[in-house]
Chain A
Amino acid sequence: DIQMTQSPSSLSASVGDRVTITCRASQSVTNYLNWYQQKPGKAPKLLIYAASSLQSGVPSRFSGSGSGTDFTLTINSLQPEDFATYYCQQSYNTPRTFGPGTKVDIK
């Protein structure tokens, strides 16, 4: 199985900050890397797919980059509605695996 790790596990930030979350795969997933946002009590929501493609309807302040084993999710100018937990996920092979999550809360 491909193991996914994320750093940091949590971070505190202020509205307007630029936030960067890193995801690492235990082996290459080429660009089969997706990012999801989950708010308490809600289902996850797709933000970025194929490492850098923005899902329809997602604000452009979200962006993704990387390939192979190292990936980054960046949120430019953090908004109040962005405080949530973020998960990376590989769709390169099965079992599909998720990172442990990064919780972004208010400083």
Chain B
Amino acid sequence: QVQLVQSGAELKRPGASVKVSCKAAGYTFINYGINWVRQAPGQGLEWMGWISAYNGNTKYSQNLQGRVTMTTDTSTSTAQMELRSLGSDDTAIYYCARDATYDMSGHFDYWGQGTLVTVSS
């Protein structure tokens, strides 16, 4: 069955960077894209961006442009999201979610379990 398994919780200082990984299983990795979505404590869902696992094309939220980089490693079926220059408002649960199509025209049909990133001095 389709599974997205994310890396563990992180505690970071303000100004630091964080990398969150998302390992896919149960499907052909390059046939779909991966979205990243975050959720601040008690808040709603915020889309961060998308990456094609087929060719590495990306689309980022303008709110995060310049601070976020999304990559994939097709040899391990893993997607990774790096967020730099962290501030306290980056404290959130970060989710990866499979895009139902390869070309970013779909819904998010499978989600990882989430990774809590806490930014605190």
Contact = CB atoms under 8 A, between A and B. Distances in A.
A51 to B, nearest CB: 10
Interface in A12-61: 34, 36, 43-46, 49-50, 55
Contacts of B37: 44
Interface string B96-120: 0100100011111111111000000
A34 B44 contact: no
B109 A98 contact: no
Contacts of B112: 43
B44 A91 contact: no
A43 to B, nearest CB: 4
Contact of A98 (B46, B50, B61, B111): B46
B98 to A, nearest CB: 10
A19 B63 CA distance: 35
B35 A43 contact: no
Given A49-B100, A95-B62, A44 B45 contact: yes
Contacts of A89: 45, 107-108
B44 A46 contact: no
Q: Which of B37, B45, B97, B113: most chain A CB closer than 10 A? A: B45
Contacts of B110: 46
Given A43-B111, A55-B109, A95 B44 contact: no
Given A43-B95, A43-B114, A101-B44, A95 B108 contact: no
Contacts of B44: 87, 98-101
A6 B101 CA distance: 26
B59 interface: yes
Interface in B28-63: 35, 37, 44-47, 50, 59, 61-63
20 contacts: A43-B95, A43-B97, A43-B111, A44-B37, A45-B111, A46-B107, A46-B109, A46-B110, A87-B44, A87-B45, A89-B108, A91-B106, A91-B107, A95-B47, A95-B61, A97-B47, A98-B44, A98-B45, A98-B47, A99-B44
Interface of B: 35, 37, 44-47, 50, 59, 61-63, 95, 97, 100, 104-114
